[in-house]
Amino acid sequence: MPYIKKPAFETFRSQLIASGKPIAEKDIVPIQARIVTQLDTIRELLVQKARRLSHKDGLVEITATWVGLDASQKEAVAILKRSWPGAVFESSEEQFWVGDSEEAVLLNFAVRYPEDRYLTGRILVTF
């Protein structure tokens, strides 16, 4: 599941949205739970909130706090790149972008599912 640069990610996400439909709400619930479980394996993160939105660019939004000893955005980005996505999305095509955003770190992801369905989301890590 590749990390890609922001322009390539934005292109991938916009193509998914333009050519498909969001996955069903009932299918988002277990995926969201797997995302939170994956984030819980990163000892430097404390997941605060997970919610579903109706916005096509981010159907799942998760907020977490960085509790690691090295409270730098660079370290947070490096750890997220290494740890994401684990087995969250199984064998679906997934791409993500992670980088600093003002005084936080933002991870955006987009996943292609069968039948032209997709899931998009973002994880905001604050310090």
- pLDDT tens track of the chain, all 127 residues? 578 899 999 999 999 999 999 999 999 999 999 999 999 999 999 999 999 998 888 999 999 999 999 989 999 999 999 999 988 998 789 999 999 988 899 999 999 999 999 999 999 999 9
CATH of residue 35's domain is 3.30.460
Question: Is residue 50, in this structure, part of any structural domain at all?
Answer: yes
Question: Is residue 19, in this structure, part of any structural domain at all?
Answer: yes
pTM (2 decimals)?
0.93
* Cα four-point dihedral sign 24, 111, 90, 87: negative
Question: Is residue 1, in this structure, part of any structural domain at all?
Answer: no
Q: In one letter, which amino acid is 48? A: Q
How far apart CA 10 and CA 57 sit, in angstroms, is: 10
What is the tally of structural domains in the chain?
Answer: 1
Question: Is residue 63, in this structure, part of any structural domain at all?
Answer: yes
Residue 51 host element (H or E) = strand 45-52
Q: Which domain holds residue 68?
A: 6-126
